[in-house]
A and B are shown apart, each in its own frame.
Chain A
């Protein structure tokens, strides 16, 4: 006889707590901390028994619940100035839960909008920039995306490396500059054409970033979504 336990997936401790509160029809402004803590731990144990990884944030919340529970047991001690009105130890948690609940509702309305919006289709073929429009700026994220493509290609290609010689960033920087003085420019892809291993690709990319940082070179795109081109800064 095999039991199948189906546990709903929770996005985090707040999600789980809200579920426990709402499904037990508990007044969020007067949470029975002892009961909720028990239920919370029961859920964590179930997760452990199912070999689910219990993320750190679930444990932090468990500690918070135990702390609040202990605070509730202590008699409120008057403050130095004789003021006995102490804040309910549950208040910060309740505020967090209410805030998270609003966030969830807002996410839901966005999701509904997304569904409606996805019924529309648009033209998506980019126009070539009119000639003479000037080069386009390439952001660091464009570079990283291009770099990821190169890395993917390299890992696919089998290579036999007999004597791996250490490559240095300085060496690759010189190589890039040499190429630029002879040819005036080079494409991003050409930069990696001879890179046989991931190490070489990574070092070459670091060399490119270093040259960019120094302001010795520039990267640009001639047309939208076009090839990324490397040129000397004074070119």
Chain B
């Protein structure tokens, strides 16, 4: 069965444009134990590696998806006509605040960044990286924002707990102190 199972998983992952969740795999392969599925996915990835295949299997946002090997990107890149641009610095900063502080209002984000974020929020919404979670129970009932599954997929996180911990961020901050001239606000805008 394991040979056949591997082929089925390969076919399913190939056919799906989105990551396939373990729940979905379970529905497709109802008679197979979850552990067996995970094992077969691991075997598939190893097989690709051993054959020197151009493909690999990634685990993201609670699911699995097929992807091209990262070192082949110079070639695959030529095939892709348009790709969404890299996020700007304001975009990344706003997204970072939302990711760590969700649910959070626009005013709260602006208090941390010290600038207005209307345009940035619109862009992040359009790219599906954030969504409205509801309204805060306070005067004006402001909208609350949070990250989406697309956010996890875009950054290759399996879930939100994979974000660097506050301690790791703190360590990064202190490692930066003292070389203020090296990194100004050049990028972005």
Contacts and interface: CB of A to CB of B under 8 A. Distances in A.
B17 A114 contact: no
Nearest to A97: B114
A120 B113 contact: no
- For the residues of A in contact with B, the DSSP-based class is helix
Contacts of A18: 180
Interface stretch (A103-111, A172-180, A198-206, A211-219): A103-111
A41 to B, nearest CB: 17
Given A105-B169, A111-B87, A121 B155 contact: no
Given A10-B185, A121-B73, A123-B17, A105 B115 contact: no
Nearest to A56: B116
A141 B80 CA distance: 26
Interface residues of B, number: 56
B87 A106 contact: no
Interface stretch (B21-29, B30-38, B42-50, B61-69): B61-69
Interface residues of A, number: 49
A57 interface: yes
A124 B170 contact: no
Given A19-B184, A25-B178, A25-B180, A96 B89 contact: no
A10 B92 CA distance: 15
Contacts of A117: 154-156
Contacts of A24: 180
Interface in B151-189: 154-156, 163-164, 166, 168-170, 172-173, 176-181, 184-186, 188-189
Given A105-B172, A120-B68, A127 B92 contact: no
6 nearest A-B residue pairs (beta carbon):
A22-B180, A119-B70, A12-B115, A106-B96, A107-B92, A14-B114
Interface of B: 14-17, 58, 65-68, 70-71, 73, 76-77, 80, 83, 86-87, 89-90, 92-93, 95-97, 99-100, 111-116, 125, 154-156, 163-164, 166, 168-170, 172-173, 176-181, 184-186, 188-189
28 contacts: A9-B188, A12-B113, A13-B114, A19-B180, A22-B180, A22-B181, A23-B180, A25-B180, A57-B116, A96-B111, A99-B112, A100-B112, A106-B99, A107-B89, A107-B93, A107-B96, A109-B168, A109-B169, A109-B172, A111-B89, A117-B154, A117-B156, A119-B71, A120-B58, A121-B67, A122-B67, A123-B16, A141-B125
